[in-house]
Amino acid sequence: MALLQINDLGLEFVAKRGATQVLHGIDLSVDRGQIMGMVGETGAGKSVAAMSVARLLPSPPARYTSGRVLFEGRDVLDFAESELRRWRGVRIGMVFQDPSSNFNPVFTVRQQLMDVALHVANTAPERLGLTPHAGRRARRRAALDACLSLLDKVGIPDARARFDSYPHQFSGGMRQRALIAMALLGRPELLIADEPTTALDVTVQARVLELLYDLVEEFNLAMLLITHNMGVVAKLCTDVAVMSDGRIVEKGDVRSVLRDPQHPYTRKLLNAIPRVRPAAGEQAPAAQAP
Amino acid sequence: MSMIVIQGLCKQFRGAATGLFGHRKPIVALDDVSLAIAEGESYGLVGESGSGKSTLARCLVGLERPTRGRIEIDGLDPLADRQRTAKRLAETVQIVFQDPYSSLNPRMQVGAIIEEPMIVHRSRLGLRRDARRRGVARLLERVGLPPSCAARYPHQFSGGQRQRIAIARALAVEPRVLLLDEPTSALDVSVQAQILELLGALRRSMGLTFLFVSHDLGAVRFACDRVGVLWHGRMVEEGVTAHVFDAPAQDYTKNLLAAVPEVDPDASIAVRRAGA
C-alpha cells in the first residue's frame, strides 16, 4: 500500500445559501520516491485537495462528503486534533507559494525554525535521534543541530552566520530554501509543496527545482507538488494528475501524459502554453474562447 | 519611422545608508539603455526582478524621472515640459497593468470605467454623451465582450474578462502605443492564450505599437517581433525574437532561456541526471 492513498475523496463548502461541492471523488496515491504533480487552472481544486490531505481546512465551512485519506493505512480524516498536531509538520512537511508571507517578519529565522524544531523534539524526539527521556538541554541541542544541518543541506551558504537574520534580509530564493528546510525539520515522509516556485524568477526557480529533486532522493520522500505550470511538472515530477472542476480528469506517469494526453482538457491545457523554443510547425496559443 | 526612441537612459535611486555615517550608495536601476521601436512593432522587454524593466516603463510614461538620457514618443519629449505634454502623452501611450483585480475601480460600472478616459480627453475626441456610450459598446465588442457588460461591476467578471475591460479602457482614447506591463502574468494559461490572441488581433487591425514588459519568455516569443534582454539595468542583448531565443549570443540570455522549464519530459532533471 502506498504511503498516501486518497480514495473517492469528496468535499463541499457549506454556506448559508447552501453547499458547493468542490471535490468530486478524488482518487490518488503517492509513494516514497514519487513526485506527484497536481496541475490545473484556478479553481480546479488542486490546493483544496492538498489542504485536505493535511487537514488544514477549517470545518465548517469544509465538510467531507465521502472517501478516505489514508496515510500509512490510517485515515487522516479520523485523526483527533491532538493527533493532527503530532502529525503535521512532523510526518508531513508543507511548503507554500509566497516565501515572504510564510515567515513572520518580526522574528528571526532562528526563532522561527527553532519553534518548529523544538516542537518536533518535544512531540517526536526519536525523529531527531533523541531518546524519549532526553532532557531539555539535549532537545535544544538536537533542535539546533537539525536546523543548521538542514539550512546547510538546502544550500544556504554560511548557515550559522545567517541564522540570526530576519526574513527580509534573505532574497526570495533564500527564503524559499529556508522554508523548505523548515518543512523538513520533522524528517517527514511526505512533502506537500503548493506552488513552491511560482513567486520566484526563472533562474532561481530552476535551482529550487533541482534542490527539491535532490531532497526527494536523499530523504526518500513522497512529494505532492501543486502547480499550474506544466513546465515545472515536466522538469520535476514522476507522475501527474490533471485537475479540472474538482475532478482528476487524467493521471499517469509524466512522460505518457505529456506525450500522449488522452483527455481533451489536458490537450487544451498543453496547447495553450506559449513555448520559448517551439518545435517546427507549432507556435500559437490555441485556446478556444469558452 | 520610430514611434519610441530611448537614448542613453540612466536612472539611479538613492540607496540605504550603510551605518550611521555611511554614505548612501546609489542603486543603479538603468544604466545607459538605448532602444528604438518602430511604428506598428511589438517590442518585448524581458528580465528578472530587479533588472530595471519596470523602471524603464515607468520612465517612459513619466511616472519616474530618469537621471540622464533622452526619450521621444511619437515626436513628444515627456521629460521636457511635463505640464504641456502630460495630456498629449496620455493620448499617445496607454497602459495595461498586470493585475486586473486592482487596476479597475470596484465601485464603478464597467461602462463608466471605459468612458472615463473619453471624458478626460473630450476636447480632442469631441464626443458627446451618446457618442461616448456608443463608443463604449464598440470597444466592448472589440475586446470580445457583449455590450450589456457596461452596466455591471468588475467583481462580476473573471480575471480574463477583467483584463479585456482594462484593454478596452486603454483603447478608449485611441492611443498609438500600448504599454503592456505583464498583461498575462496573473491569468491562467488558457486565458493567457486568449488575451495574447486578442492583443495580436488588435495590434494588426488598429496599427498599434506595443511595448510588452514581461518575465514570461513564452508569451514574449509569441507576442513580440523584437526583444530586448535587461540585466542589472543594462541591455545585454537585443534582436529579432526568434533569433535571440533560438541562438542567444550572451551568456546571461542563454542561462535565462535554459532556466525556463519546457513542457518536455526529455528535459527533466531525472533524464539529465541519468545522462550525466
Q: Distance between CA atoms of B47 and B124, rounded to whole angstroms?
A: 37
Choose, out of A228, A230, A235, the residue to mutate when testing the contact with B (most B CBs < 10 Å).
A235
Chain B residues close to A276, C-beta within 8 Å:
217-218, 221, 245, 257, 260, 262
- Which residue from B minimizes the CA distance to A239? B265
Is A289's pLDDT higher than 50? no
Q: Distance between CA atoms of A143 and A50, rounded to whole angstroms?
A: 28
Q: Which amino acid is at B242?
A: A
Q: Tell me the CATH number at A76.
A: 3.40.50.300
pTM of the model: 0.84
Number of domains composing chain B = 1
> Which of A272, A275, A284 has the CB atom closest to B262's CB atom?
A275
Q: With an 8 Å Cβ cutoff, are A273 and B189 in contact?
A: yes
> Same structural domain for residues A85 and A201?
yes
**pLDDT tens-digit series, residues A63-74:** 899 999 999 989
CB-based contact B44:B35 (threshold 8 Å): no
Q: Rounded to 10 degrees, what is the CA torsion of A136, A139, A144, A149?
A: 170
Average pLDDT over residues A45-64: 88
Q: With an 8 Å Cβ cutoff, are A41 and B197 in contact?
A: no
Q: Tell me the CATH number at B155.
A: 3.40.50.300
Q: With an 8 Å Cβ cutoff, are A272 and B257 in contact?
A: no
Q: If you compute the radius of gyration of chain B from its CA atoms, what whole number of angstroms results?
A: 20
| pLDDT score, position A288 | 43
> Same structural domain for residues A84 and A201?
yes
Nearest to A110 by CA among A187, A167, A149, A180: A167
Say if A287 falls within a structural domain. no
CB-based contact B92:B175 (threshold 8 Å): yes
> Same structural domain for residues A266 and A125?
no
CB-based contact B240:B225 (threshold 8 Å): yes
What are the cell numbers at A93? 512537511
**pLDDT tens-digit series, residues A246-288:** 999 999 999 999 999 999 999 988 888 888 877 655 555 554 4
By residue range, what is the domain housing residue B199? 2-275
Could you say which residues of chain B have pLDDT below 50? none
ipTM surpassing 0.90:
no
Say if A281 falls within a structural domain. no
Strand, coil or helix: what is B59? Answer: helix
pLDDT class of A290 with cuts at 50, 70, 90: very low
Q: Rounded to 10 degrees, what is the CA torsion of B151, B155, B158, B162?
A: 70
What are the cell numbers at B85? 505634454
Q: Distance between CA atoms of A287 and B191, rounded to whole angstroms?
A: 8
| pLDDT score, position B87 | 83
> Which of A41, A172, A231 has the CB atom closest to B263's CB atom?
A231
Tell me phi and psi for residue B238, to 5 degrees.
Answer: -150, 145
| pLDDT score, position B274 | 83
| pLDDT score, position A285 | 57
- Which residue from B minimizes the CA distance to A287? B190
Q: With an 8 Å Cβ cutoff, are A231 and B262 in contact?
A: yes
> Same structural domain for residues A74 and A201?
yes
> Same structural domain for residues A110 and A74?
no
Average pLDDT over residues A76-104: 85
By residue range, what is the domain housing residue A153? 104-185
Q: What is the DSSP letter of B36?
A: E
Summary mean pLDDT of chain A:
88
> Same structural domain for residues A75 and A25?
yes
Other CB atoms within 10 A of residue B51 CB: 25
The percent of residues above 70 in pLDDT, for chain A, comes to 95
Say if A170 falls within a structural domain. yes
| Window from A25-39, A139-153, B14-28, B195-209 with minimum mean pLDDT | B14-28
> Same structural domain for residues A215 and A167?
no
Is A135's pLDDT higher than 90? no
Helix locations, A90-227, DSSP H: 109-123, 136-153, 159-162, 172-184, 202-219
Q: If you compute the radius of gyration of chain A from its CA atoms, what whole number of angstroms results?
A: 20
Q: Which amino acid is at B114?
A: I
Tell me phi and psi for residue B195, to 5 degrees.
Answer: -65, -40
Say if A285 falls within a structural domain. no
| pLDDT score, position A287 | 47
CB-based contact A224:A52 (threshold 8 Å): no
Average pLDDT over residues A68-83: 90
Chain B residues close to A201, C-beta within 8 Å:
48-49, 215
Q: Which of residues 137-166 of B touch A (CB under 8 A)?
A: 144, 159
> Same structural domain for residues A119 and A240?
no
Chain B residues close to A285, C-beta within 8 Å:
192-194, 196-197, 222
> Same structural domain for residues A208 and A68?
yes
The answer to whether residue B218 neighbours chain A at the CB level (below 8 Å) is: yes
Tell me phi and psi for residue A4, to 5 degrees.
Answer: -120, 125
- Which residue from B minimizes the CA distance to A253? B265
Q: What is the DSSP letter of A101?
A: T
Q: With an 8 Å Cβ cutoff, are B221 and A286 in contact?
A: no
| pLDDT score, position A99 | 62
> Same structural domain for residues A169 and A202?
no
Choose, out of A202, A225, A238, A239, the residue to mutate when testing the contact with B (most B CBs < 10 Å).
A202
Say if A204 falls within a structural domain. yes
